[in-house]
Structure 1
């Protein structure tokens, strides 16, 4: 068998293995990404609530 053909076949197999690994990683990533986004959204909301000016209550005599 020609050396270049054998090398090309091996390279193609490596690419397929890498693509399969990427697909598996992409299937797992959204759950952690969603959790991270929700967490930071809650942190931002908490910071806005803490830094919001509080209304001043004035009691009339």
Structure 2
């Protein structure tokens, strides 16, 4: 392949990847508050399940 052709294809692909990354970054920034709330909610659920699942110590019967 001719070097200038290779360079032109490389530049075109790099521009496509940059545009795709920018679109992904904008989409991620738009949904970030929901993700934080979701993570916090699942963390609270996990903490509650751990509290419920704590094994009880056996009590001595006289």
TM-score range for the pair, normalised by the shorter chain length: 0.5 to 0.7
RMSD: 2.6
Q: Please report the TM-score for the alignment, with normalisation by the length of structure 2.
A: 0.58
Give the CA deviation at 1:47.
5.5
Give 5+ residue unaligned stretches, structure 1.
52-61
1:15-54 CA distance string (max 9 Å, x none): 0111011101110112333212112213334565784xxx
Find the structure with the greater CA-based Rg.
1
Q: Please report the TM-score for the alignment, with normalisation by the length of structure 1.
A: 0.59
How many matched pairs?
51
